[in-house]
Amino acid sequence: MKISIGNDHAGPEYKKAVVKFLEGKGIEVINHGTDTFDSVDYADFVHPVATDVENGTVDFGIIICGSGNGAAMTANKHQKIRAALAWNKEITALARQHNNANILSIPARYTSMEQAIEMVNTFLNTEFEGGRHQTRIDKMPCM
């Protein structure tokens, strides 16, 4: 499995913990995020993740910013992206089961490091249910 990750200045510590977790599971990680707390624009770090997912270069993406909203909104501008903002493992599971989310957006300022790792684990280990949910997903992209 291969994951693309990106973060702004609110998420360097979260990114480091997530990367360590992923690499510990033998998952290859492409890092598009910043490693500093200096103010940056999240879009500069999110678009490369969304492009990786959209192009099939990676299996999934993980994006991290303060609220998770800006990152998710940016990623969702890409036609083949379904970025889900999640703040606990239950929301994360539903995003995969019902929405076939391909990017997880983590709000670093509103989740603990432990919650973030738990969400990543849930995201990667939850399957899309398909069926009636696929019909809904087919209606998501703008034509």
Could you tell me which of 47, 12, 55, 27 has the C-alpha nearest to residue 120? Answer: 27
3-class DSSP assignment, residue 24 = helix
Instruction: Assess whether 133 carries a catalytic annotation.
Output: no
Please pick, among 65, 78, 133, 142, the residue that the annotation labels catalytic. 65
> CB under 8 Å, gap of 24 or more: what pairs does 112-115 form?
113/13, 113/14, 113/17, 115/87, 115/88, 115/89
Instruction: Assess whether 142 carries a catalytic annotation.
Output: no
Angle at 85 between CA 9 and CA 90, to 5 degrees: 125
Tokens of 126: 């939850």
Q: CA-to-CA distance for 3 and 17, rounded, in angstroms?
A: 14
Tokens of 143: 């034509």
Could you tell me which of 106, 112, 116 has the C-alpha nearest to residue 83? Answer: 106
Please pick, among 9, 98, 133, 142, the residue that the annotation labels catalytic. 98
| Active site positions, annotated | 65, 98
